[in-house]
Homo-oligomer: A and B are copies of this chain.
Amino acid sequence: MKIYKYPNNDTWKTLSERPVIKQNTLDEIVSGILYEVKSSKDKAIKNLTKRFDGITIENLKVSRSEIENAESLVCTDLKNAITVAKSNIETFHLTQNTNEAISETMEGIQCWRKNIGIEKVGLYIPGGSAPLFSTVLMLGIPAIIAECKEIVLCSPPDKNGKINPAILYAANLIGISKIFKVGGAQAIAAMAYGTETIPQVYKIFGPGNQFVTKAKELVQQSGIAIDMPAGPSEVLIIADNTGNPEFIAADLLSQAEHGADSQVILISDNEDIINQTSKALEKQLSELPRKEIATKALENSRSILLENLESCFEFSNTYAPEHLILASDNGEQFISSITNAGSVFIGNYSCESAGDYASGTNHTLPTNGFAKNYSGVSVDSFVKKITFQKLTAKGISNIGPAIEIMAEAEELYAHKNAVTLRLKSLQNV
């Protein structure tokens, strides 16, 4: 992790750059997979699963008995922990389920919005070495709260043709039962176009490797909504002299272990904190099972010493981190300085792991600087807000003349006429 001392403001843009990912060659491969699934549906899914996952799957849909068996395969401690996380995530996400009041903009004109769950949504849960059951909770709970009618979950099968029981347990616990054994770009294609077995959805959520990300990007161009653009995970920590170097190092590493392309940034106005964190980092790193991955991530990473905390927040807003940790006893007083961030962790006891798993906030967040223009996943992501209006005779009488003038000025005479006819009919009453 390279240390930069008092870098000039001119260099901040460069210091905010993420590791570059080459993915031009992906376009052709992923387009091919999408085309194959669109044309041959289930047959294509089975062929691709054999090709990429090395397993022949007869029944793409996870059976009721597989779901029920999962419960006995997950240890009680983990089941209890998942239940705690579920409860907190539900509590926080329920606060997002707001209904706005009806607004009477003029006498006789009522306007309001109604939240309606997107009817069909798809959740992608990556496979690989670690079963991301936490992502099942983070995507599934807001989908359930939003009352999406059809929730489809896809996750790649392992070498035995199974999905990890913790994933099945978490899905079943929150009420998701349409689970399919398919991963990669072919899973995104299946949910975008539908197959004989896997239902088509209107919006697709979830993290994934570069094939999954590219597939989401491509299906978005054909009208399927996606949660947000993707990029490698990242954390930025702002520490003052009340920060704890051991905790800071642990938080940096818990981001760095996500992947070799992760990025971690430490900013401080205090040189001692930076130096002590470097030492703690080295020690903790040596004891880490995913040491190799974390070491690679640290190569993309930076410690930056700045003049004062104001500059630290200015840099952070330029960087727009996915996760922002305020390693300070006085974190709360800086909230108003934060303009660009996905999720903020205030104080020395608010570690990123808390939000990643169980405190209640969502862990699906904008990376790669997208915190400048995107929000993390929430109940909002799973609803459409439909506007309604009702005008009475009094209402159209009040507003009609203004509409007539504006429509005429925009040279839209049929728009005007729709009002004129109504106003005339009222004169005749």
Contacts and interface: CB of A to CB of B under 8 A. Distances in A.
Contacts of A419: 351, 353-354
A380 interface: yes
Contacts of A353: 403, 407, 415-416, 418-419
Contacts of A418: 247, 250-251, 253-254, 351-353
B417 A250 contact: yes
B80 A402 contact: yes
**Chain A contact residues: over half helix, strand or loop, or mixed?**
mixed
Nearest to A331: B390
B391 A359 contact: yes
Q: How large is the interface on A (under 10, 10 to 19, 20 to 34, 35 or more residues)?
A: 35 or more
Interface stretch (A43-51, A151-159, A223-231): A223-231
A253 B414 CA distance: 6
A73 to B, nearest CB: 12
A85 B406 contact: yes
Nearest to A84: B402
A195 interface: no
B101 A95 contact: yes
Interface string A241-277: 0001011001101101110000000000000000000
A357 B403 contact: yes
A12 to B, nearest CB: 15
A256 to B, nearest CB: 7
A327 to B, nearest CB: 12
Contact of A421 (B95, B132, B250, B392): B250
A118 interface: yes
A360 B78 CA distance: 50
A31 B113 CA distance: 38
A221 interface: yes
Contacts of A412: 130, 254, 257-258, 290
